[in-house]
């Protein structure tokens, strides 16, 4: 069975143009405001719920970036977006590995946007990896599975815990989903069969 993410270049927003109405709206918004172009030196990638079609009314646009110089990224973000409504910039360290991270939040038109930066290349960041495995699970398990995940999200659950709940993955839902990255389609299908 062909996985949903096969052939999709997640680093190029063009795939949104042939998507559902929200995806085409997001493509138009990000293009109109040149968000990705403004962040180009940070290898920005839109991740999260919109690219894989499981957004809810409370979803935002998550854009991950590869950041080597956090002072420069913060200065660039302030220069580019400080006039946008709700602009907030926060720096932190990840628990355990003490690696620096930065988040920048603001509104563009009716969409909340969150930029997330860390030193890792974007394809190695958890946000990207979660999106790819979630896309694959949605392709394998179909519409009924998607509806169950979205229902949990509408009840207030975050995306990864919603997937983990439907799949009955015990423990940390974020690590649990990443553990599925190397599983074959057949092994993944058996997981849902066992769950049902």
pLDDT by residue for the chain (196 residues), tens only, comes to: 333 445 689 999 999 998 899 999 999 999 999 999 999 999 999 999 999 999 999 999 999 999 999 999 999 999 999 999 999 999 987 766 668 999 999 999 999 999 999 999 999 999 999 999 999 999 999 999 999 999 999 999 999 999 999 998 999 999 999 999 999 988 988 887 754 4
Q: Give residue 134's domain range.
A: 128-195
**66 strand-pairing partners:** 118
CA atoms within 13 A on the CB side of 117: 26
Judgement on whether residues 20 and 107 belong to the same structural domain of the protein: yes
Judgement on whether residues 111 and 17 belong to the same structural domain of the protein: yes
Closest-CA residue to 60 (of 18, 20, 116, 100):
116
DSSP secondary structure code for residue 172 in this structure: -
Judgement on whether residues 161 and 181 belong to the same structural domain of the protein: yes
- pLDDT score of 56: 94
- pLDDT score of 98: 62
- pLDDT score of 95: 63
| Run of H or E residues at 166 | helix 159-167
Single residue among 120, 152, 187 that ends a domain in this structure:
120
Judgement on whether residues 162 and 88 belong to the same structural domain of the protein: no
Q: What is the pTM of this model?
A: 0.91
CA distance 166 to 195: 8
User: In total, how many domains does the chain have?
Assistant: 2
Structure token pair of residue 7? 């052939």
Closest-CA residue to 31 (of 85, 111, 87, 86):
111
- pLDDT score of 166: 94
């Amino acid at each position: 069975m062909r996985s949903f993410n096969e052939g999709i270049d997640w680093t190029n927003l063009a795939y949104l143009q042939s998507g559902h109405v929200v995806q085409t709206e997001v493509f138009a918004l990000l293009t109109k405001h040149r968000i990705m172009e403004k962040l180009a030196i940070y290898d920005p990638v839109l991740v999260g719920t919109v690219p894989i079609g499981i957004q809810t009314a409370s979803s935002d646009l998550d854009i991950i970036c590869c950041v080597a110089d956090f002072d420069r990224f913060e200065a660039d973000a302030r220069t580019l977006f400080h006039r946008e409504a709700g602009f907030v910039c926060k720096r932190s360290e990840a628990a355990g590995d003490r690696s620096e991270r930065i988040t920048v939040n603001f509104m563009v038109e009716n969409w909340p946007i969150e930029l997330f930066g860390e030193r890792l290349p974007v394809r190695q960041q958890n946000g990207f990896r979660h999106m790819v495995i979630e896309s694959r699970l949605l392709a394998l398990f179909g519409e009924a599975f998607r509806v169950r995940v979205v229902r949990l999200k509408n009840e207030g659950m975050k995306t990864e815990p919603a997937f983990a709940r439907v799949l009955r993955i015990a423990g940390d839902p974020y690590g649990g989903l990443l553990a599925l990255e190397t599983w074959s389609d057949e092994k993944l299908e058996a997981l849902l069969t066992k769950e049902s």
